[in-house]
């Protein structure tokens, strides 16, 4: 499951104790390339199931082709929706840049339909329902598009396994499944994505994004994986490079917390106005 | 400087609330300082009005959250110092509140700001806070409102009750202030329908919910109307002035937005009873966004709204039969550049208003905004006639900290 950026894990100790030890034990995959591609995504998804809710802090450094940088900071909360027909709920609250301090974005994700999304503008205390068809638009001026952040529910894509090969650096000693994913939802900026999934832990190591003309647009490197709650892998460093413009964004995660007791009440439009 | 007793009260409240909290508080301080320059296209037709003006504003927010973010205090004073207009030099406590969330309930006490509504051009149903009119004539800047608020999120929707024990008078520019009415507003003579004056206890109730693509709000307000009638009068020197009169009003309002793909459909309207008369006002329209135009990251949004008043053209409401059109361009760049250009046409008087707002960030901490408002073809009969010589350009440079 690629950029499961906005997710977390189960909090209670019991769940952690019952969790399978992480191992390289082989996963039985079908031979048909399409079925195999989907099975790889399902395995990634299975390994992330049951995280319940999570909180984390995000730091982004945007760099343009001339090396000039600007920073973004936000805090993110996620509520897992166990029903596979429903997407997870997320609430992002911005700290920096300071002129958008307190601005918050609430997303109730769906699978193929557009997500329900509200924006809170603290200067005027206004909650605005916003259109969510802007999947391909840049997130806060970064090289990440909104769709790169949305929770990667399995049914959002069609899959095709391409090959197995050595994983990209810094884990070149491992083997990766290389899978092509085709967005099935409307308004995607991509014709397809190619994902390198580590066969040892089923975490994505690299993703290539192809634009609407099917030309390579961006590459994402996912590194600094940490295991949380003994069960859930999170990449703490995501480096997105736009190969067309030369711009890049480095996104780092810190302070992951799991099972913090968040409920649906914390993801209402009321909560949007008090999120901190 | 005005509202100083209000500031003192709020500060005392904040001190009390801080003392009440058990844990030593982690206080987060944020804010901005923002110099402003204004240039007026024409000389004013009131003596003392100048072609240019300078001022500086600051707002600081002190925030503290504790109890797993279920309790918090926010204190947010604002002040402006204006070169020309003593009325525009003012201070206001925008917020000074203690709030607490318990399960699906939320309580707030103190000074706060509340927004209701969905449309862009006018904000008909938004009534809790008074407009800080010297800050902006678009009515989007608000004065802090003392209140007790209780809100609950239930399966049937969100229900919120407001008790508003103190009324805030609208701010108006002084004789040298611009943009301003040609006849100045004299708020030393302010009149109220209620004998309790600004101590009349107002009350409001709001229901809001989301049904799939529909976001719906229904509200009730009973109390002192925030929008004054301006009555002709004389000041102590015998000069003509406008005297604000605040009537008691009962108002039922609704605001609805449907969000379908790149289309937003919006409606706001209210029924109001005031001074033994009943009337209706409504506004509605569409917003459509072309995302990623010409295969760039740029978006272009189109807003079209119509405003209506069942009393027809009347001196109390400049927007009785008006059309508003706007274009918004957002390149989605790292500087968060945005440009909004709009035009308002009064379909009764053919008066025209144009506005342009452009803004972007410089570095990480500077935010620059340029705003222009231009009036044209405004006949004497239009309530906006007073502004017709007050077209202006305004530059603000905010330094955030």
CATH number of the domain where residue B116 is located: 2.40.160.10
Tell me which residue range forms the domain holding A116: 13-18+33-271
Predicted local confidence at residue A13, as pLDDT: 35
Span A35-86, pLDDT tens digits: 999 999 999 999 988 899 999 999 999 999 999 999 999 999 999 988 878 8
CA distance A255 to chain B (A): 15
State which residue of chain A sits closest to B207, comparing Cα positions: A270
| A11 near B CB under 8 A | no
Has residue A193 been placed in a domain?
yes
CB distance B90 to B122 below 8 Å: no
Average pLDDT over all residues of chain B: 92
Has residue A8 been placed in a domain?
no
Predicted local confidence at residue B224, as pLDDT: 98
- Cα–Cα distance measured from residue A78 to residue A55, given in angstroms and rounded to the nearest whole number: 7
Predicted local confidence at residue A168, as pLDDT: 96
State which residue of chain A sits closest to B120, comparing Cα positions: A128
Tokens 């000693």 found at: A173
Predicted local confidence at residue B312, as pLDDT: 87
Before A156, cis peptide (omega within 30)? no
Residue A73's φ and ψ, nearest 5 degrees, are: -135, 135
pLDDT(A11) > 70:
no
Residue B152's φ and ψ, nearest 5 degrees, are: -140, 140
pLDDT(A2) > 50:
no
Tell me which residue range forms the domain holding B252: 4-400
Has residue A43 been placed in a domain?
yes
| A69 near B CB under 8 A | no
Average pLDDT over all residues of chain A: 88
pLDDT(B166) > 90:
yes
CB distance B265 to B271 below 8 Å: no
Predicted local confidence at residue B2, as pLDDT: 47
User: Cα dihedral angle (A15, A20, A22, A28), rounded to 10 degrees?
Assistant: -140
Give the confidence band of B1 by pLDDT, cuts at 50, 70, 90: very low
Distances (CA, A) of B173 to B83, B127, B136, B179: 13, 21, 10, 8
State which residue of chain A sits closest to B262, comparing Cα positions: A131
Predicted local confidence at residue B145, as pLDDT: 98
Hey, is B293 helix, strand or coil?
Answer: helix
Nearest to B210 by CA among B254, B253, B272, B157: B157
Span B320-367, pLDDT tens digits: 899 999 999 999 999 999 999 999 999 998 999 999 999 999 999 999
Query: What mean pLDDT is predicted for residues B247-269?
Result: 97
State which residue of chain A sits closest to B65, comparing Cα positions: A276
Element housing A35 (H / E): helix A33-48
The residue among A141, A211, A247 with the most chain B CBs within 10 A of its CB, best to mutate, is A141
Tokens, residue B57: 């504003």
Give the confidence band of B163 by pLDDT, cuts at 50, 70, 90: very high
Tokens 């009131």 found at: B46
pLDDT(B246) > 60:
yes
| A73 near B CB under 8 A | no
Total number of domains constituting chain B? 1
Residue numbers of B between 45 and 74 with CB closer than 8 Å to A: 63, 65, 68-69, 72
Query: What mean pLDDT is predicted for residues B149-168?
Result: 97
| Contact criterion met (CB < 8 Å) for A97 and B361 | yes
Total number of domains constituting chain A? 1
Has residue A27 been placed in a domain?
no
Across the A:B interface, residue pairs with CB atoms under 8 Å apart total 104
Predicted local confidence at residue A14, as pLDDT: 34
Other C-beta atoms closer than 10 Å to the C-beta of B185 total 23
**Where would I find the beta strands (DSSP E) of B41-190?**
52-66, 71-82, 90-102, 105-112, 145-154, 157-164
CATH number of the domain where residue A245 is located: 2.50.20.10
| Contact criterion met (CB < 8 Å) for B153 and A133 | no
- Dihedral sign from CA coordinates of B68, B69, B73, B78: positive
Q: Which residues of B touch A140 (CB under 8 A)?
A: 336
């Amino acid at each position: 499951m690629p950029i499961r950026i906005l997710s977390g894990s189960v909090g209670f100790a019991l769940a952690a104790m019952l969790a399978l030890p992480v191992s390289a034990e082989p996963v039985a995959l079908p031979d048909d390339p399409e079925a195999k591609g989907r099975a790889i995504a399902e395995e990634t998804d299975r390994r992330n199931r049951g995280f319940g809710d999570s909180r984390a802090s995000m730091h982004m450094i945007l760099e343009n082709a001339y090396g000039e940088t600007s920073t973004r900071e936000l805090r993110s909360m996620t509520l897992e929706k166990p029903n596979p027909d429903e997407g997870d709920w997320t609430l992002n609250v911005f700290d920096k840049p300071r002129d958008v301090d307190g601005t918050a974005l609430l997303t109730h994700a769906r699978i193929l339909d557009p997500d329900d999304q509200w924006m809170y503008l603290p200067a005027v205390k206004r909650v605005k329902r916003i259109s969510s068809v802007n999947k391909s638009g840049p997130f806060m001026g970064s090289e990440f598009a909104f769709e790169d952040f949305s929770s990667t529910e399995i049914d959002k894509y069609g899959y095709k396994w391409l090959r197995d090969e050595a994983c990209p650096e810094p884990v070149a000693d491992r083997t990766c499944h290389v899978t092509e994913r085709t967005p099935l939802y409307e308004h995607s900026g991509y014709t397809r994505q190619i994902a390198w999934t580590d066969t040892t832990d089923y975490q994505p190591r690299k993703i290539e994004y192809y634009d609407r003309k099917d030309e390579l647009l961006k590459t994402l490197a996912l590194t600094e994986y940490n295991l949380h709650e003994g069960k859930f892998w999170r990449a703490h460093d995501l480096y997105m490079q736009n190969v067309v413009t030369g711009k890049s964004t480095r996104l780092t995660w810190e302070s992951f917390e799991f099972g913090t007791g968040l409920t649906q009440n914390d993801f209402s439009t009321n909560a949007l106005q008090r999120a901190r | 400087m005005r509202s100083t007793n209000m500031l003192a009260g709020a500060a005392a409240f904040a001190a009390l609330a801080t003392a009440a909290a058990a844990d030593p508080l982690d206080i987060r301080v944020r804010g901005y300082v923002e110099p402003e320059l204004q240039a007026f296209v024409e000389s004013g037709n009131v003596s003392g009005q100048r072609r240019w003006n300078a001022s500086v504003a600051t707002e600081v927010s002190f925030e503290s959250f504790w109890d797993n973010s279920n309790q918090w205090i926010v204190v947010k004073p604002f002040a402006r110092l204006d070169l020309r207009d003593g009325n525009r030099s003012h201070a206001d406590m925008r917020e000074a509140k203690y709030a607490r969330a318990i399960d699906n309930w939320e309580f707030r006490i103190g000074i706060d700001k509340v927004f209701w509504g969905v449309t862009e051009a006018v904000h008909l149903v938004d009534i809790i806070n008074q407009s800080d009119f010297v800050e902006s004539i678009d009515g989007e800047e608000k004065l802090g409102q003392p209140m007790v608020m209780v809100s609950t999120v239930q399966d049937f929707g969100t229900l919120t009750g407001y008790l508003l024990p103190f009324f805030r008078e609208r701010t108006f520019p002084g004789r040298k202030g611009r943009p301003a009415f040609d006849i100045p507003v004299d708020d030393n003579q302010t009149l109220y329908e209620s004998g309790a004056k600004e101590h009349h206890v107002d009350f409001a109730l709001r229901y809001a919910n989301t049904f799939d693509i529909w976001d719906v709000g229904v509200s009730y307000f009973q109390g002192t109307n925030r929008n004054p009638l301006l009555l002709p009068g004389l000041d102590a020197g015998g000069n003509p002035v406008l005297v604000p009169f605040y009537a008691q009003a009962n108002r039922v309002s609704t605001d609805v937005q449907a969000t379908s793909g790149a289309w937003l459909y919006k409606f706001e309207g209210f029924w109001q009873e005031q001074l033994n008369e009943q009337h209706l006002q409504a506004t509605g329209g569409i917003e459509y966004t072309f995302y990623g135009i010409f295969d760039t990251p740029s978006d272009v949004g189109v807003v079209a709204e119509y405003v209506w008043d069942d009393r027809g053209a009347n001196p109390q409401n400049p927007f009785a039969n008006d059309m508003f059109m706007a274009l918004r361009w957002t390149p989605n760049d790292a500087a968060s550049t945005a440009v909004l250009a709009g035009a308002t046409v009064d379909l009764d008087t053919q008066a025209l208003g144009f506005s342009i707002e452009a803004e972007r960030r410089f570095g990480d901490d500077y935010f620059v905004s340029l705003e222009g408002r231009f009036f044209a073809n405004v006949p004497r009969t239009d309530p906006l006639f007073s502004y017709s010589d007050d077209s202006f350009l305004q530059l603000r440079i905010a330094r955030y900290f």
